[in-house]
Structure 1
C-alpha cells in the first residue's frame, strides 16, 4: 500500500486533477490519496487558502462577505465544470462553506481554522466524486470519522498517539480513500489546522498509521535540488537523502516538504519519495533512514528569512542559577517558541520567528526581562535569515566550517550567529536578510561547483 499526497499546484485546476487520477490509476497500490486545497494556476493567481483567510477576516469584522464567498465558490465551480461533474457536488460545497460562515465566531482562532480547513475538505469531496466518474472506486473520508485526533489549544496542532491506531483501519478499505489534508479534531470535536503546508503532515501521519510501503509526496518539481532553483541556475539534483537531512533543509526554507512531515514516517521507517505530478515517470528524490556515502560532504544548502533576535546582557549571567529558564518562561507566557539560543558568558540571544511578535509583545517582554531579571541590556532586532548547510558527511569532514565562513567572508557579509547541533549534520549561520541571496550563491559555488583539474 502506498499513500500519496498531492499539493496545491497538483489540484489547482480540472486539468491537474485529471493528471492526479491518471497517476492513481497507473499504480493499484496507491490506495490512500491526501489532497491540499487548490493552489495557484498561474503566477499571479491566489491560492484558495488565502481566499478563505480573506473571507474569514471579513466575516469576523462583520463586513458583507458575498464577494469573497463567491471567489471561493467560483474556484470549485470551475474545477467541477472542467471535470464534467454535475451540480450536486457544487451544491454540497456551497452549503458546507455557508454553514462554516454561520458558525460561532466567539473564538476567532477556531473560526479561522474552520474556514481554512474547508479548502482541503471540499476538494477531497470533489476529487472522490470525480474518481468515481472515471472508474476509480473511491470514497471521501473525513478526518473526524477516521479518528485523526489532535491536541488542544494553545499548543501547535499535533496528532495524538491514539490517532495512529484509529487511522490504521484505513488499510482495510477496499476503496481508494480520498482524505483532506491540513487538519484534525480534538477529543471534544474541535477542528484544528496544522501549520500552512500541513497537508504534508497529514500524508505522513496516514503513511505511518497504515505502515505504508511508501509515502509519495507529489508536487511541481521532478526532485529535490541541493539549492533553491529560483536563486541558483540549474542546481545539482538529489536522488537520495536521509530523513535528518530533509528535516534540516525543510526547516530552513525547502518548501518542497513541510519540516514537521518527516517524523511520523521516520518513526515507522516509511520511505518518502518527492515526485512531480506533471512528470510522474521521473524517479524523484527518495528520503530514507540511511544512504550510501557520497563524495560530497554537503547534501544541500538552504535559507529562510523572517527571524528576530532577543538580545539580553547581564554581568555575571553565567553565575545566576535559573536565568535561562526564567527568560524562556517569559516567552512561554507570550505563547512564543524559540529556534536557537547562542550565548556568551554575560549575554544570551534567543532566535525566534518574527511572525510571533507584535509591538505590544515586544514591549512587555523587554519590560519583564529588565524588571524581573535585572538585565543590563535588552533589545529586539529583526530582518534576519538563517542559512543552513546540511549533510550526513559533514561529521567526517574536517575544515568544512572554515570553508563555509571563508565563502561567506568573500561576499562581504557579516555572520551574526553560528550554531552547530551535536549531531553535526547541519551548520546554521544567522545573517542579515539583505545578504541571504549572495551568501547562498557563494556557498553553492564553494561546495557544488565542479573542481577544475589542471
Structure 2
C-alpha cells in the first residue's frame, strides 16, 4: 500500500484535481491520499489557507464575515462544478462548517488561528472524497481523529504524540478502498484542532506512511525531481535521481524547498522510501529518497542548498578560551530571552553565534545584545542581519580527499568572502557562512566546480 500526498498547487482547481484522480487510478496500491488546501490557481491568486486566515482576523475584529465565507466556499464550489456532481449533498455542510468557525470558543488566539487554517485541508478532503465517490470510486473521508492521531505542544506548531502510532496500527481499510485524509493538522487531547509546523501536510503524509506501514510515500508536487541546486540560481541544474535521508535532511535545513527538514522524520524512523514526483508530469520517475544502505554513490556532491534567513553575532575577547564558564554565561542570556541558536563556531579569542531570524523577534534580539554587552563586556561585538548559509552535501564526500579545499579555493579565486566553514560530524556536508548578497554567486561557483 502507498501513501500519496498532494500539495496545494496540485489541488488548486478542477483541472488539477482531475490529474490527481488520474494518478490515483493509475496504481491500485495508492490507497491513502493526503491532501492540502487548494493553492493558487494563477499568479496573483490567493491560497485558500490565506483566505481562511483573513477570515480569522475578521472574526477577531468583529467585522462582517459573510463576504469572505462566500469567497472561500466559492473555491470549493468551483471544483465540484467542474466534475458535474450534485453538490447539494456536500456544499451546505462545507458552508455550515465555515460559518461555525466564527461561533466557536477557543482557549486562545493561537487555537483560533490553528482551527481556521486547518479547515482548508479538512474541507478539501471532504470534498475530494465526495467527488471520488460520485465518480465511481470506493472512497471515504477519514479524519485524523478516526486514525488515532493526537497532538502535543503548541497549537500552531504541534507534534504528534508517539502513542498515535500504536492507535494507527489498528486502523484497517479494504483492499479496494481509497481513504482521503486531510493534511496539516490533528487534534489534541481536549479535541482542539492543532496544526503542524512548516510543511504540515508533508508531515501528515510521512506520519501516515509510518503509522499505516506503507511500502512507499509518494509526495506529488509541482517539480519533476529534486535538483542539485535551485533552478532560480542555476539554469537547468542536474536532477537528483536518488539520494539518502540524511542528504535530504541536510539540504532541507539550508533551503531546499521541497521538504522542511522535519517533515520526513517519521518515514526515516520506519525506513520507508520517499518518491518526490510531479502532478503535472506523472510519468517522470522523480527523485527517490532512501536509507544510506540502499544507495550507490556516483557523485561526491549530491546537492547545494542556500538560505539567507540567518543573522550572526560576532564576539571578540582576549583569552576567551581560558575563561571557565564563559560559554555557559553566554547561553544563560540566550535562555533568559527565549532564543535558540543554530551554530556556534569558536576560536581562541573569537566566537560567533548564528541565529535563524524567522524564529525570534527583533525586540528579543535587541534585549539579548544589550545584556551581552553589559554582562559579558566583549572587546568587540558585531551584529549582522544579512547572513546566509550554504550547505554542500553528498554521501561521496566521505571518500573525497580535500573536500573542503576543493570547495573553498574556487570561491577565494572568485573574490567571495567566506566567514565560516564547518564540516559536519557525519562528513557528508560542509557548511559555509557568508554575507547574504554574495550567496547566489557562491552557489554558482560551487556548482560549476563540482558538476
TM range (shorter): over 0.9
Alignment of 1:54-453 (within 5 A): 54-85=54-85, 86-104=87-105, 107-153=108-154, 156-173=157-174, 175-290=177-292, 291-448=294-451
**Cα pair 2:303 2:392 within 8 Å, conserved:** yes
Give the stretch that moved more between structures: 188-197 or 425-434. Answer: 188-197
Give the stretch that moved more between structures: 9-18 or 61-70. Answer: 61-70
Q: Counterparts of 1:403 and 1:60 in 2: how far apart (Å)?
A: 56
**Cα pair 1:223 1:275 within 8 Å, conserved:** yes
1:271-295 CA deviation, whole Å, 9 max, x = no partner? 1111111121211111111244334
Ranges in structure 2 where 5+ consecutive residues have no aligned partner:
none
**Cα pair 2:307 2:389 within 8 Å, conserved:** yes
Tell me which residue corresponds to 2:2.
2
Q: Counterparts of 2:226 and 2:362 in 1: how far apart (Å)?
A: 38
Helix, strand or coil: the match of 2:234? coil
TM-score (norm 1): 0.92
Q: Counterparts of 2:127 and 2:80 in 1: how far apart (Å)?
A: 7
Helix, strand or coil: the match of 2:434? strand
Q: CA deviation at 1:106?
A: 5.5
Give the stretch that moved more between structures: 311-320 or 42-51. Answer: 311-320
Q: Counterparts of 2:410 and 2:60 in 1: how far apart (Å)?
A: 50
Helix, strand or coil: the match of 1:294? coil
Give the stretch that moved more between structures: 162-171 or 415-424. Answer: 162-171
Give the stretch that moved more between structures: 219-228 or 354-363. Answer: 354-363
Q: CA deviation at 1:369?
A: 2.7
Give the stretch that moved more between structures: 137-146 or 306-315. Answer: 306-315
TM-score (norm 2): 0.93
**Cα pair 2:199 2:263 within 8 Å, conserved:** no
Change (3 A) 1:173 1:339: farther
Q: CA deviation at 1:328?
A: 3.3
Q: Counterparts of 2:12 and 2:121 in 1: how far apart (Å)?
A: 11
Change (3 A) 1:74 1:316: farther
What is the alpha-carbon root mean square deviation over aligned residues?
2.2
Give the stretch that moved more between structures: 414-423 or 170-179. Answer: 170-179
Q: CA deviation at 1:373?
A: 4.2
Is 1:44 the counterpart of 2:44 in the alignment?
A: yes
1:333-363 CA deviation, whole Å, 9 max, x = no partner? 4443322222223333222221223232122
Q: Counterparts of 1:58 and 1:232 in 2: how far apart (Å)?
A: 42
Q: CA deviation at 1:183?
A: 1.4
Q: CA deviation at 1:169?
A: 2.8
Helix, strand or coil: the match of 2:44? coil
Q: Counterparts of 1:28 and 1:102 in 2: how far apart (Å)?
A: 42
Tell me which residue corresponds to 1:451.
none
Helix, strand or coil: the match of 1:266? helix
1:7-63 CA deviation, whole Å, 9 max, x = no partner? 111111111111111111221111111011111222222222222223323333444
Aligned residues: 448
Q: CA deviation at 1:203?
A: 0.6
Helix, strand or coil: the match of 1:215? strand
1:314-337 CA deviation, whole Å, 9 max, x = no partner? 444334444434433443444433
Q: Counterparts of 1:231 and 1:187 in 2: how far apart (Å)?
A: 45
Change (3 A) 1:132 1:251: same
**Cα pair 1:38 1:123 within 8 Å, conserved:** yes
Change (3 A) 1:326 1:190: farther
Q: Counterparts of 2:192 and 2:313 in 1: how far apart (Å)?
A: 34
